[in-house]
Structure 1
């Protein structure tokens, strides 16, 4: 006979010191992010203040975006918009190889796209190029009729 034990997991609470250890951030940085409203205020106050998994997640998200080269202003915008699911582009590194698609529309008019970062497949890139060419021709035709 099998015996099943059900455990109720209590939400983990962290002190400021524990939170700083887990995130690799200083107390001053965490307090600064709270002041800038990038991170929620702690639960409780004074010596009874504590932080939850949500606070940890917020700080780790900020750390990830800072490493990606985003400014605190942009991070604040992303947090307000709730775009955690849309990670920022990776910073370019010296010597990194990137694959770009290039469309020469006309003399002095070009479209450059990195399909992987743009989240576009080959068919979508072709459609983008086709519609861009159509839009350019339409604009040039309209100019000629004026």
Structure 2
């Protein structure tokens, strides 16, 4: 069974003009290609979604209704804890919160040394960075 389609192949297989498929993508009815660009690649989920859109249209649904009904909640990634250290004006370092304690201790020591170095003044009284 076929697993990848170009836009032209997809249009031919589902019986829709390529322009219509691009319109559906722009309106949010259909996800964009799996691989974007000149050699865009579409998958089986695109074929199924286009068939579903055509079925709903045959049942009398408007494109706006189909688009609204298809808006599914976006799955967010699990939250991550981060530690943020401001070393000097415009210099910020962030560390993932799940690092091993021994590693955090070593990094904090290195950051402390870096902060000391960044705050040292040269002989003219200007900050070194």
TM-score of Structure 1 vs Structure 2, range by shorter chain: 0.5 to 0.7
1:80 is matched with 71
Q: What is the CA RMSD across the aligned residues, in angstroms?
A: 1.9
1:18 is matched with 9
1:45 is matched with 36
Give me the TM-score of the superposition, normalised by structure 1: 0.46
SS in 2 for 1:64: helix
Which whole-Å deviations, capped at 9, do the CAs of 1:6-54 have from their partners, x for residues lacking one?
xxx8x70011111111111001100000000110000222222100000
In the TM superposition, what are the counterparts of 1:121-132 in structure 2 within 5 Å? Answer: none
Give me the TM-score of the superposition, normalised by structure 2: 0.52
Unaligned runs of 5+ in 1: 1-8, 83-146
Unaligned runs of 5+ in 2: 74-129
Structure label with greater radius of gyration: 2
Q: Please report how far the alpha carbon of residue 81 of structure 1 lies from its aligned counterpart in structure 2 after TM superposition.
A: 5.0
Give the Cα–Cα distance (whole angstroms) in 1 for the partners of residues 56 and 46 of structure 2.
16
1:86 is matched with none
Give the Cα–Cα distance (whole angstroms) in 1 for the partners of residues 68 and 33 of structure 2.
21
Which whole-Å deviations, capped at 9, do the CAs of 1:66-112 have from their partners, x for residues lacking one?
11110011111221259xxxxxxxxxxxxxxxxxxxxxxxxxxxxxx
